[in-house]
Amino acid sequence: MFISEAFAQTAPAAPASATSSLMQFLPLILMFVVLYFIMIRPQMKRQKEHKALIDALAKGDEVVLASGLYGRVTRLAEGVVHIEIASGVEVRVQRASVVQVLPKGTLDK
């Protein structure tokens, strides 16, 4: 007898309308939008700038590598850059390891 009364008290609610289901997902959507503008968009911008820097490398440019080495570009190949880090000392590195192009004459100081 008590069981049937308990089921009767917990009758299902009316079906949710479309606006209330949208309101449930609104915080999730807002979090994604904030995440995009705070993290994803700036990272894509940095990647685009780094690609432009690598594509613009030319012989004679003075550069800084990701390892912290300073040097002058002596030769360019498809995915490789030859960097002179000291007189007569040349290393071969990937283009992506170049992180900064220095103003001309920086290494001579």
Q: What residues does each domain of the chain span?
A: 16-56, 58-102
Other residues' Cβ atoms within 10 Å of the Cβ of residue 72: 19
Q: What are the beta bridge partners of residue 82?
A: 75, 92
Tens digit of each residue's pLDDT (9 = 90 or more) over 44-98:
999 999 999 999 999 999 999 999 999 999 999 999 999 999 999 999 999 999 9
Can you give the pLDDT at residue 67? 94
Rounded CA separation 63/100 (Å): 6
pTM, full prediction: 0.69
58-102 sits in which CATH class? mainly beta
Q: What tokens were used for 7?
A: 């089921």
Cα 79 → chain centroid:
20
Tens digit of each residue's pLDDT (9 = 90 or more) over 25-47:
899 999 999 999 999 999 999 99
